[in-house]
Amino acid sequence: MASLVQHRPRLDRLRDFVTGIGTLLDRTRDERSLLEEGSAALGRLVAHDDWLPEAYAAPNPDRYSQYLLHCDSRERFSVVSFVWGPGQATPIHDHRVWGLVGVLRGAELSERFARYPDGGLHAVGAIERLEAGEVEAVSPSVGDIHRVSNAFDDRVSISIHLYGSNIGAVERAIYDAAGTPKRFVSGYANAVLPNLWDRSGATA
């Protein structure tokens, strides 16, 4: 008979990740170093699928959801879970800050875009498939415009994103096929954050 015991999420993994990123930002603001070291740290986090609370892994049947997991008190960085229902996708959009994307569960498809001299957009390279445990970078310096979708049409996928700002408050843009931007500020799907700071339990 299957066990009915509900195991507590290993929030210590997320706590260690955010404190590590804070320490990294105390040491450097060099984007190359942030992307390299942050990518390694995010890779270690998404190598384990035992820490994300269910409330921040819940899909919305109508659209993808962006849940805030942590925002630095000085808004130097934020961590979010991106939850994709089957077949869900973003429009073409930008970020305007550096960021890292690590797949925790399922897989994502990412299609990058660049601008023609007249302002129009064109796809760059093949559509990339990011599997669980893999990490990719975005930023205005390495490529910032893309469209992302759940690689599966029959299951949920979840990615964990680290951004160099409070991403839910950054004014960004979505684009039509002609490259015309439309302003948006994403906000977040949740009003309550996970409590990373309770150490009363062995895995709290």
What is the CATH number for 78? 2.60.120.10
Q: How high is the pLDDT of residue 25?
A: 98
Residue 31, domain member (yes or no)? yes
Q: 34 is in which domain, residue-wise?
A: 11-184
Per the prediction, the chain carries an average pLDDT of 93
pLDDT one-digit tens code per residue, 132-164 = 999 999 999 999 999 999 999 999 999 999 999
Residue 6, domain member (yes or no)? no
Cα dihedral: 57, 166, 173, 156 (round 10): -10
Residue 167, pLDDT > 90, answer yes
Between residues 59 and 119, the one the model is more confident about = 59
Residue 5, domain member (yes or no)? no
Residue 201, domain member (yes or no)? no
Q: Which tokens sit at 86?
A: 């089957």
Quick one: pLDDT band at residue 200, thresholds 50, 70, 90? confident
- pLDDT mean over 166-189: 95
**Phi and psi based region of residue 19 (left: phi greater than 0; alpha: psi -120 to 50; beta: remaining):** alpha
**Total count of domains within the chain:** 1
Quick one: pLDDT band at residue 116, thresholds 50, 70, 90? confident
Residue 204, domain member (yes or no)? no
Residue 201, pLDDT > 90, answer no
Q: How high is the pLDDT of residue 3?
A: 42
